[in-house]
């Protein structure tokens, strides 16, 4: 079984994504599609639900570290929105663990990737799929479709 499709909304001021991306997907986790946003507080709850309704197994939002948002309180606003959206999903009998909120700084690439990997693994386990493999020490051969 393949890894779960995941959509991540990532604040431009949180994790430095350039070294992590291959196009608009994470290089080490190609099942994760990244949408960059100017601030995590910019993300509308409807976008999270739309991603789930259009086939994503899970959705996450990444903002700046709490208390260090470039746009003052966007990450606190989004954290509250994610909490509310999780309660709505639960009332509709949809597992709220399919949504997540992360907070990382520009230089937290390793911690960000570790958290996304745990999220992906959890979604794979929920679906009865296989866990995401650890990144290879050598680059994988090119080929296949994204």
Distance (Å, whole) CA 77 – CA 42:
9
Any domain includes 144: no
Question: Residue 70's domain spans which residues?
Answer: 6-126
Burial class (CB in 10 A: 0-12, 13-18, 19+), 5: middle
Helix (H, G, I), strand (E, B) or coil at 5: coil
pTM score:
0.83
The tokens for 32 are 């994760």
- pLDDT per residue, tens digit, the chain (146 aa), is 468 999 999 999 899 999 999 999 999 999 999 999 998 888 998 999 999 999 999 999 999 888 777 777 777 888 899 999 999 999 999 899 999 999 998 889 999 999 999 999 999 998 874 444 434 333 344 444 44
Any domain includes 140: no
CATH number of the domain residue 62 falls in: 3.40.50
Any domain includes 134: no
Total domain count, the chain:
1
């Amino acid at each position: 079984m393949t890894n779960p499709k995941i959509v991540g909304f990532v604040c431009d001021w949180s994790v430095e994504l350039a070294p992590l991306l291959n196009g608009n997907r994470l290089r080490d986790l190609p099942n994760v599609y990244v949408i960059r946003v100017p601030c995590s507080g910019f993300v509308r709850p409807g976008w999270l639900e739309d991603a789930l309704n259009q086939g994503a197994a899970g959705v996450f939002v990444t903002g700046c570290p709490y208390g260090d948002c470039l746009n003052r309180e966007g990450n606190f606003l989004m954290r509250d929105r994610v909490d509310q959206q999780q309660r709505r999903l639960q009332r509709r009998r949809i597992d709220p663990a399919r949504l997540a909120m992360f907070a990382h700084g520009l230089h937290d690439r390793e911690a960000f990737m570790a958290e996304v990997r745990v999220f992906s693994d959890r979604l794979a386990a929920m679906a009865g799929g296989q866990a995401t493999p650890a990144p290879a020490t050598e680059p994988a051969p090119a080929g296949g479709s994204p």
